[in-house]
Amino acid sequence: FNSVYQIAPGLTESILPSAFAGALGGDIRALTNHDTTLVLGRTKAKTLELREDGHGLWGRVHINREDSDAMNLYHRVQRGDVDQCSFGFTIGLEDVEYRDDGSVHRTIKIVDALYEVTVATFPAYEETSASARSAQAEQIRRRTAQVWRETMKNRLKRSAE
């Protein structure tokens, strides 16, 4: 949010916080370099999670380890060869500022529709990031659930005594 992206010489844009708020309920795909044949995840399939946070649009893709394209990209991200993101959307509401120097800046206030998010080699917004998380996060979730179950089981035993 609020970072300036140069679309062309003399034309810049930025996105306001909460701009994506109304656009996150649709069927959104996660892609590789905007390529619709390289689908990594999808909100409808619950293999893509998206939300806004204090920095911008946040997402998590649950990688299909049986998909060689997805695993190849995962390893590129893990190595740091690819480490940024982009997205495809339509604008619902924007402010356009015509500046004295002849340049134009548009501020996107509302994203009407978000179609896709993508791990990108050359993103429009340079401040984006992508990172590869290991299965460690899932292991932590499982361990936390296991500890919670054991704690509840012990509480139930004590209350029954």
Q: Would you call 7 helix, strand, or coil by DSSP?
A: strand
152 pLDDT more than 60: yes
What mean pLDDT is predicted for residues 137-141? Answer: 52
Alpha helices in the chain (DSSP H): 68-79, 136-160
β-strand 57-61 against 48-52: which pairing, if any? antiparallel
Mean pLDDT of the chain: 89
pLDDT above 70: percentage of residues in the chain: 91
CA torsion 58-52-88-117 (nearest 10°) is 20
Q: How far is CA 104 from the centre of its chain?
A: 28
Q: What are phi and psi of 159, to 5 degrees?
A: -75, -25
Question: What single-letter DSSP state applies at residue 139?
Answer: H
Neighbouring CB atoms inside 10 A of 115's CB total 16
Whether pLDDT at 76 is above 90:
yes
Q: Output the pLDDT for position 74.
A: 92
Q: Which pLDDT score, from 0 to 100, does residue 159 have?
A: 75
CA 56 – CA 34 distance, rounded (Å): 19
What six digits make up the tokens of 117? Answer: 């998010």
Does the structure show a pLDDT above 70 at 135?
Answer: no
Looking at residues 3-16, what average pLDDT do you find?
93
Query: pLDDT-derived band of residue 68, with 50, 70 and 90 as boundaries?
Result: very high
Q: What gap in Å lies between CA 5 and CA 87, rounded to an integer?
A: 13
pLDDT of 136? 46
Q: Tell me the pLDDT tens digit for each residue of 43-55.
A: 999 999 999 998 8
- Stated pTM of the model: 0.76
**pLDDT over 70 (residue 137):** no
- Predicted local confidence at residue 94, as pLDDT: 97
Tell me how crowded residue 136 is: count the other CB atoms within 10 A of its CB: 8
